[in-house]
Structures are given as structure tokens and as C-alpha cells.
Amino acid sequence: MLKCVSSLCKVSFTDGTQMTHTVSVPASSLYEAAVLGIAEFQKGGLAIAGVGPNTRLRITVEPPSTTHEISVAQLHSWLNTNGRSPREQAKKADLRKLLERG
């Protein structure tokens, strides 16, 4: 798993009207940044219904600036696997709950 160790991560996606939406979240992994980004979009009133399994999330880690791209389907696939350690299992459980609240 790619890491954005204790970094500020910018998460963005482009909607059906070609408008790009971006939020900044502190995260320690690529997938954590993706979940926290989706949660922020939901809090901001952005209709998350427009984000489907094929939506591409761009995650930029700063500094130095590095960008990664994953699909929402990849995110859900990662969330649905067991963690390699009790700590990772707990983190995934917390992240799943965060997405369920939206």
C-alpha cells in the first residue's frame, strides 16, 4: 500500500459536468486519504451519488507533491479485505464506518 505518512493529502475527482472537486485531509495512507476525502465531500453537501465505482479519485500527497489515482471500486475492494495487523484491521473498520455514515 502506498503511504502518505502523516501528510496533508488533496483528494479530488471530476464529476459528470467535468467540474473538479478537491478537499484536503490529513492521512497516513492512500486509502485512508480516499475515505476521508469522500467523507469530506459528503459533509460539504456534495451529492456522493455522482461518485460510483468507476470514479477516479486523485490523491496528491504534499510535500513533496506526489499524485496517485485510484477508482472508488479499488477503494471498496481494499476496505473489504482483512488488514495485515490488528491495527490495520481496526483502521479499516473505522474507515468503513465513516463511509457508511454518509
- The number of beta carbons lying within 10 Å of the beta carbon of residue 92 is 19
Which runs of E-coded beta strand occur in 1-102? 7-14, 20-27, 56-62, 66-71
Over the stretch 34-46, which tens digit does the pLDDT of each residue have?
999 999 988 877 6
Global confidence as pTM: 0.74
The DSSP H or E segment spanning 86 is helix 86-101
Residue 66: per-residue pLDDT = 85
For 28, residues 6+ apart whose C-beta sits below 8 A from its C-beta are: 3, 4, 5, 6, 7
Mean pLDDT score, 48-62: 82
Q: What percent of the chain has pLDDT over 70?
A: 88
Domains of the chain and any CATH numbers: 7-101 (3.30.2260)
pLDDT at 50: 67
pLDDT single digits (tens) 74-88: 999 999 998 889 999
Here the cell at position 48 is: 456522493
